[in-house]
Structure 1
Amino acid sequence: MKNVITLAAAVALAGSTAVVQAYEAGDWILRAGAVTVAPDADSDIVDETLPVTVDVDDNTQLSIIGASMVDPNWGIELLVATPFSHDIDVNEVNAQAGETKHLPPTLSVQWYPRGAASGWQPYVGIGINYTHFFDEKADSDLEGIVGNADLDLDDSFGLSASAGVDMPLGEHWALNAGVWYIDIDTTATVTLKDAGDSKVRFDVDIDPWVYNVGIAYKF
């Protein structure tokens, strides 16, 4: 009987260990999955030469997120992803203005309220984002209206807020879901090649919601 009780206790201990996801100082957490950037875009007309506003569509890419635990309750996280690609649409004429790619690395300080406790690990954070735009191209729709054109977007620095949760699958593995709101403001410049390289500028507040779903591994 004693052996049965001992065995049962060992099984119970093993089962409880399987769901442990407590965080400690020095832990590294690698998260990977699918991340969607959903812009909540708003633009202002800066130059009345081309009095239109623009919108930016959604895109999904692969994410890699690394976090380092400073202590059981505080961590530092870096979000990176494969390059996002977005179409830029002209609202007033239902046409595509162009397209761009961007990389939005985001560094955050995060608070884990459960800290050293086992089980689910929710967290919230604040941080800073740098967005680099590249491979901008004016679309044929826009060029059909204004003639030959070039498109350029300024890089952006802004603040971010985030929240997420790690849901343990074992001692090291977990499911992860996270969301960020990022302040991305840029100036879009359209150079009208057939009008003596005159320039039309728009202030564009992209301000996306960013959603990530994937897996996590604790080292």
Structure 2
Amino acid sequence: MLKKFAKFSLPVIMAGCLTAINAPVQALETGDLLVRGRIININPSADSGNVTSSAVGGEVAGTEVDVEDAYSLDIDFTYMLTQNIGVELLLDLSSKHDIVGKGPTLSPLGTIIETRVLPPALILQYHFLPDSQFRPYAGLGLNYTMFLSEEATSSLDTGLGGVRDVELDSSFGWVGQIGMDYDLGNDLFFNLDVKYMDIDTTATFYSGALGNVSTDVDVNPWVFGIGVGKRFSF
């Protein structure tokens, strides 16, 4: 997936740089509002333990899970408190992710749960070169992640003798960010952005074979974004 994303990104980067040749530099100012739109790849570095089962009375061996990556769109609004410091409100569209069996017991079932993820975040940024055409930045903030429309797949339902009440807990964690804006002139700019999000959840459901089931999952995705933005001055 990352190779496909890089293959798509390279010509866009080159086109943006060519467009920006000889464009006048428009420095950031206090009170500016930066609005960005991006195509993003959400790439979890997931880790989990074995599931616990009320019927077994403890862990079930070979029942780890993994989370597949996905593409989506995001939009953010950054308000410049000073020429160097901004506050970003990140609003992604929800992305759909497959949770797959990883251990030898669950992996034959393939995708076991499908869910949508919505992770709004508030990030404090530092812009290193506000007067430059190339404007790198770094940020640190908080995210609140909601899991929506959780559903067991037919393979999990059949494999565990009927599954119901699938739920993934919401998560509150930190987010780190690095990125860059490249001034294209006329208050437009090209953007590249990378975030790491601290997202943990507990998945629970009931099955005929295992009773009440739960497992803790560290999702912790890298989010790679490419897009464009516009500066509004007031």
With structure 2 as the length reference, what TM-score do the two structures score?
A: 0.82
Tell me which structure has the larger Cα radius of gyration: 1
CA distance in structure 2 between the partners assigned to 1:129 and 1:33 by the alignment: 18
Correspondence for 1:139:
153
CA distance in structure 1 between the partners assigned to 2:51 and 2:157 by the alignment: 19
Contact 2:145 2:172 in 1 (8 A): yes
Q: Which stretch shifts more, 40-49 or 19-28?
A: 40-49
1:21 maps to amino acid: Q
**1:21 Cα deviation (Å)?**
3.1
Contact 1:34 1:61 in 2 (8 A): yes
**1:146 Cα deviation (Å)?**
0.5
Correspondence for 1:90:
101
1:209 maps to amino acid: W
User: Residues 41-52 of structure 1: matches in 2 within 5 Å?
Assistant: 41-47=46-52, 49=56, 50-51=60-61, 52=63
- Spell out structure 1 runs of 4+ moving beyond 2 A: 48-51
CA distance in structure 1 between the partners assigned to 2:133 and 2:89 by the alignment: 23
CA distance in structure 2 between the partners assigned to 1:157 and 1:199 by the alignment: 25
| Two-structure CA RMSD over aligned residues (Å) | 1.6
CA distance in structure 1 between the partners assigned to 2:133 and 2:72 by the alignment: 29
**1:131 Cα deviation (Å)?**
0.3
Q: Residue 160 of structure 1: which of 167, 175, 187 is its match? A: 175
1:35-86 residue CA offsets vs partner (Å, 9 max, x unmatched) = 1110000001251544301011111111111100000010000111211100
Contiguous gaps of at least 5 residues in structure 1: 1-14
Contact 1:21 1:120 in 2 (8 A): no
The count of residues paired between Structure 1 and Structure 2 equals: 201
- 2:216 pairs with 1:190: no
Give me the identity figure in percent. 39
Correspondence for 2:190:
175
**1:204 Cα deviation (Å)?**
0.1
1:37 maps to amino acid: I
Contiguous gaps of at least 5 residues in structure 2: 1-20
Q: Residue 106 of structure 1: which of 98, 102, 121 is its match? A: 121
Partner SS state of residue 19, structure 1: coil
Contact 2:51 2:64 in 1 (8 A): no
Partner SS state of residue 25, structure 1: coil
Q: Which stretch shifts more, 41-50 or 56-65?
A: 41-50
1:87-143 residue CA offsets vs partner (Å, 9 max, x unmatched) = 11001223211100010001100001113x131110000000100001000011111
Q: Which stretch shifts more, 62-71 or 92-101?
A: 92-101
